[in-house]
Structure 1
Amino acid sequence: MTSSFSNRMQHTDWIEPHSRAWYEQLAGEYGEYAYPWKSEFDEPTAETMFGQRLEARIGEHTRLLDVGCGHGDFLHRWAGHAMEAVGIDVVEPFIATANRRRLQPSHRFLTVDVNEGLPFEDGYFDMVSSKKGPWLYRKSGGEGRRVIKPGGTVLHLMHGGTDGGLRALFPDLYTPVPPFDKQRSLQHVAKQLELAESGLTDMEIEVVEEVEYLSRPIDVLIKKYFGQSRALREQVWRERLAGVEEVFHKHATARGLQVTNVYYIVTGRVPF
């Protein structure tokens, strides 16, 4: 029988990943942005690498703005020694969780829609970071540029997709894509973020190919349908889990089913 989910993104209940509705669905169910599937990684992960680069640039007098902070755990982990760290997110339940878990008085979390402006003084921050959140530097005169000091640092972690054979194994779940080409992907990121018009200098894009091992067959589906409604997930589980189990057990290693997550770490500086 042909799966009715072969074209899953045209299903009426499908929510576009990383849209506002998708984040609100996550917040309503979990109250945080945390991955619910089970897996293990080859270290360091992309998020660890990004956190290390962030931490290395923070001094005792640094004011940091984290855009799209989610429930705040990343900021707590990597920005503990900043003079001030402010996390903003448009999803109020995420901010409520972040404030409830707040560990340091130097940290604060605010509900902010970046499309409506930023409630901070000109040149207030030394650094602006975003872990898979909004990119504020598509034009040189935008709000992101206004709130950061001349000479300030911008860091951004961007997810570039998942493959490593996963799409070929599950073509009815994942849209096939051409083989990964590093140079072409760098050009795509630069165009997507409009780096040439950003007004930033010392731009660097680092490609991270993160290796992950999904622990169980159901984790393939949990990863794919992360952020979707419970009703849609349960329907997919009933229809697809048996087929996924067959493929998983045929191709999994002792650590699990290996997949590759591609990320980009973008760094730049505001000119003096």
Structure 2
Amino acid sequence: MKNPTLSNYWLSPHSPEWYRQISKNGNAYIYPWQSTIDSPIAENIFDQLVCLHTKDKVALDFGCGEGRFTKKYALYAKQMIGADSSTQFIQTAMKTKPDNTSFIVAHSKHVLPFKRAFFDIAIIRKGPTSIYHHLPLYVKEGGLILGLHPGENEGKELSNWFPKLFPNNQHNIPIQQHLTKIFTKAPFRKFEIHPYHTIEYLHSPLDLIHYRCFGQKKEIYEVVSSDIREITNIFKKHQTVKGLPITYERYITIVHV
């Protein structure tokens, strides 16, 4: 079985090139694999929390992608601004949008085009953690920041079952430790980090391939798909009636400015 990260076509996940590739593949940040997730599902909890706290507020959704969730949250907000570093994502988001919503291109590592103390609340739904450093300037005193972030143990079983396809990364910093370091350095009043651990069941070997190749070029799909027979054999060995069980880990952050 081949290691796709050794290919010249491999894009480092969450790099600018990786996000650009996702925006080319249908112009939407949508997972291409089929799976079932046991409760509690952190995404659902987070969305309920955001809708509750954005009611009649001026809100920022940073790392908004194509704006699918921004538009959902905008139903409750007084004013909503979605921001993303991908021009293609923002162009897609602007095709249809509520009257109280606008979208702009912005990068967390560049100068941000926002007025100081303009927002009541900021939302980071799987967006870059680097934006936390800037938000004390743009979220009002007494305001709120809500974040949802994948954990470092996501799919940890796969490196044991498919060691070449999912080479183990020993350099991952625990996300809770990473976030705590950010929050203690920034001038926040207080913060909470809530971990959610459950199981995701990938439905088929093809879904496993989509899982591994998310955000990659077609050449990577071709490299990985060439091992479909071996992948299928290992998949069947470890699957349950629900599918292949892997760790599903998320962190929800509640930060008070």
TM exceeding 0.5: yes
Q: Which amino acid aligns with 2:232?
A: E
**1:219 and 1:241 mapped to 2: Cα distance?**
11
Q: Does 1:92 align with 2:80?
A: no
User: CA 1:164–1:235 in structure 2 vs 1: closer, same or farther (change >3 Å)?
Assistant: closer
1:177 deviates by 6.5
RMSD: 1.8
Q: CA deviation at 1:185?
A: 5.7
- Alignment match of 2:23 (pick from 23, 27, 32): 27
Give structure 1 stretches of 5+ with no counterpart.
Answer: 179-183
TM-score relative to the length of structure 2: 0.91
Q: TM-score normalised to the size of structure 1?
A: 0.86
2:144 corresponds, among 142, 153, 157, to: 153
Q: Distance in 2 between matches of 1:130 and 1:259?
A: 25
1:258 and 2:245 equivalent?
A: yes
- How far does residue 230 in structure 1 lie from its aligned partner after superposition? 0.5
* Aligned residue identity for 2:240: T
Matched with 1:181 is none
Shift of 1:40: 1.6
**Equivalent position to 2:189, from 197, 201, 213:** 201
Q: Please, which moves more after superposition, 122-131 or 8-17?
A: 8-17
Q: Does 1:167 align with 2:137?
A: no
Do the aligned partners of 2:2 and 2:223 also contact (CA within 8 Å) in 1? no
Shift of 1:41: 1.5
**TM superposition shift of 1:266:** 1.3
- The residue type paired with residue 208 of structure 1 is Y
- Structure 1 outlier segments of 4+, above 4 Å: none
Pair 70,185 (structure 1): closer, same or farther in 2 beyond 3 Å: closer
Match of 1:72 among 64, 67, 70: 67
Measure the CA separation in 2 of the matches of 1:50 and 1:172.
34
**Is the CA contact (8 Å cut-off) linking 1:164 and 1:258 kept in structure 2?**
no
Q: Is the 8 A contact 2:2 2:165 kept in 1?
A: no
Q: Write the distance in 1 (CA, Å) between the matches of 2:136 and 2:190.
A: 15
| 3-state SS of 1:172 partner | coil
Cα gap change, 1:176 to 1:4, in 2 (>3 Å): closer
AA partner of residue 125 (structure 1): F
Amino acid in the other structure paired with 2:246: V
In structure 2, the residue corresponding to 1:25 is in which secondary structure? helix
Q: Which residue of 2 aligns with 1:243?
A: 230
Tell me how far apart the structure 2 counterparts of residues 74 and 214 of structure 1 sit (CA, whole Å): 24
CA shift digits 1:198-227 (9 cap, x unpaired): 111221001011421111111111101101
Q: 2:224 and 2:37 mapped to 1: Cα distance?
A: 26
> Alpha-carbon deviation of 1:111?
1.5
CA contact under 8 A between 1:167 and 1:176: conserved in structure 2? Answer: yes
Corresponding position of 2:43: 47
Aligned residues: 252
Between the aligned partners of 2:23 and 2:177, the Cα distance in structure 1 is: 33
Asked if 1:10 corresponds to 2:2, the answer is no
In 2, the alpha carbon distance for the partners of 1:187 and 1:206 equals 12
1:189 CA drift (Å): 3.6
SS at structure 1 position matched to 2:25? helix
| Corresponding residue for residue 168 of structure 2 | 176
Pairing 1:267–2:254 present: yes
Query: Contact 2:2 / 2:164 at 8 angstroms: preserved in 1?
Result: no
Preserved contact between residue 23 and residue 227 of structure 1 (Cα < 8 Å): yes
Counterpart in 1 of 2:208?
220
Segments of structure 2 that go 5 or more residues without pairing to the other structure are none
Kindly indicate whether the alpha-carbon contact (under 8 Å) linking 1:46 and 1:210 is maintained by their aligned counterparts in 2. no
Please point out which of 218, 229, 233 is paired with 2:217. 229
Distance 1:185 1:15 in 2: 22
Distance 1:188 1:91, change over 3 A: closer
Deviation sequence 1:25-66 (CA, Å, 0-9, x none): 111122110011111222342211211121121222x00001
1:46-100 alpha-carbon deviations (Å, 9 max, x no partner): 211211121121222x000010000111122234110011100010111111111
